[in-house]
Amino acid sequence: MQDFLAMTLSGQFPEPQQGQQHGFAWHWLAEGVLELTPVQDYHKVVVLSAGIHGNETAPIELLNQLCADLFAGKLVLQVRLLIIFGNPEAMRQGQRYLNADLNRMFMGGVSEFTESAETARAKGLEQLVQQFMQHSDPQAIRLHYDLHTAIRASRFPTFGLLPYKSEPFDPEFLSSLEAADLDALVHHQSLGRTFSQLTAETCQASSCTLELGKALPFGCNDLSQFQATDTMLRSVVANQPLPPRGKTSAMRQFQVQYSLLKQHDDFKLYLSDDAPNFTVFEQGELLCTQQQQETRVQHTQEWILFPNPNVQKGLRAGLMLTEDTGA
């Protein structure tokens, strides 16, 4: 198997499209989708995805190096693994997306968008990941790490978002997020349309969206910034003990309280363009206006995540969070 990223960006399919080496069988399932199954028994089924947004290149490069080390025998595969580069055409063009946000198209969200290559890709990824899970050992623990980078700077440079899940998350999975040295963890309280929500809801996986740094072009990333996440993922793939948390500060815990939905063209967000994620607001402060209606901070303090007043109508222009202090 040649360089997985180079092969994906080239638009070519490898020849052959399956094989076996270093104790695992591999199968190129589709453009940017690679399945690896160890010859010996496995107890975990893992999905590692990146590039759902095509310009978020650091996680793509991280997964490509992990894949290369598996094929070189430098990393021993001990789980059933699916590696996904989500939006290859957007990756080639260095764009977040081409027509619409792929990470809003899962869990039925695709029906709200005009048909395009991205809606077809969303449907294809849903089918591939569900088939992968269905054809795996039903007793195996199911995990999904969906890797992203943020559009803007953040008060907490690395953080995760847990999708809504009625069943408890796997305790070892939660420990792996600690081991990744995440600064913060955000808990959703309702169903979303993200890729991690899909696997949590339809595949009974413990899933998380990980945000690592800022979006930069291919070749401009300092992957050493994400060493803790890389080490954690390699431990998961090799089924080895998780590394200890390197940061002395505890991972901050937040709950999503509500979304700021852009419903009209006159939507105005009262936040500067360079304000970072996790900017904090005090109770009563004005957040946004549209059609002469005001939205103000409801709790004593709220933090804003993913503020973006330029989204299409009907989409969220920000998430409002409260901190869970455990008090």
How many other CB atoms sit within 10 Å of the CB of residue 223? 15
135 is in an annotated binding site: no
Per-residue pLDDT tens over the stretch 74-118: 999 999 999 999 999 999 999 999 999 999 999 999 999 999 999
Are residues 227 and 158 in contact, defined by beta-carbon separation less than 8 angstroms? no
pTM of the model: 0.95
The predicted-structure confidence for 234-263, as pLDDT tens digits, reads as follows 999 999 999 999 999 999 999 999 999 999
Confidence of residue 325 (pLDDT cuts 50, 70, 90): confident
Nearest to 88 by CA among 31, 47, 29, 127: 31
Is 148 among the annotated ligand-binding positions? yes
Instruction: Give the catalytic positions in this structure.
Output: 211
The CATH 2.40.50.630 portion of the chain extends over 257-323
Q: What percent of the chain has pLDDT over 70?
A: 99
Whether the link from the prior residue into 276 is cis, omega within 30° of 0, is no
pLDDT, the chain, mean: 94
CATH architecture of 257-323: Beta Barrel (2.40)
- CA 223, CA 50: separation in Å to the nearest integer? 14
Q: Residues near 2 by Cβ (< 8 Å), separated by ≥ 6? A: 14
Residues of the chain with CATH 3.40.630.10: 4-237
Q: At what angle do helices 227-237 and 57-71 cross, to 10 degrees?
A: 40
In the numeric block, which tokens belong to residue 138? 């039903």
Q: Is 178 annotated as a binding residue?
A: no
Question: In whole angstroms, what is the distance from residue 89 CA to residue 137 CA?
Answer: 33
Is pLDDT of 297 > 60?
Answer: yes
Q: Does 2 have pLDDT greater than 70? A: no
Torsion of the alpha carbons at 252, 179, 181 and 139, rounded to the nearest 10: -70
pLDDT at 1: 63
Task: Give every CB contact of residue 292 below 8 A, 6+ residues apart in sequence.
Answer: none
CA R_g for the chain? 20
- In this structure, which topology does domain 4-237 adopt according to CATH? Aminopeptidase (3.40.630)
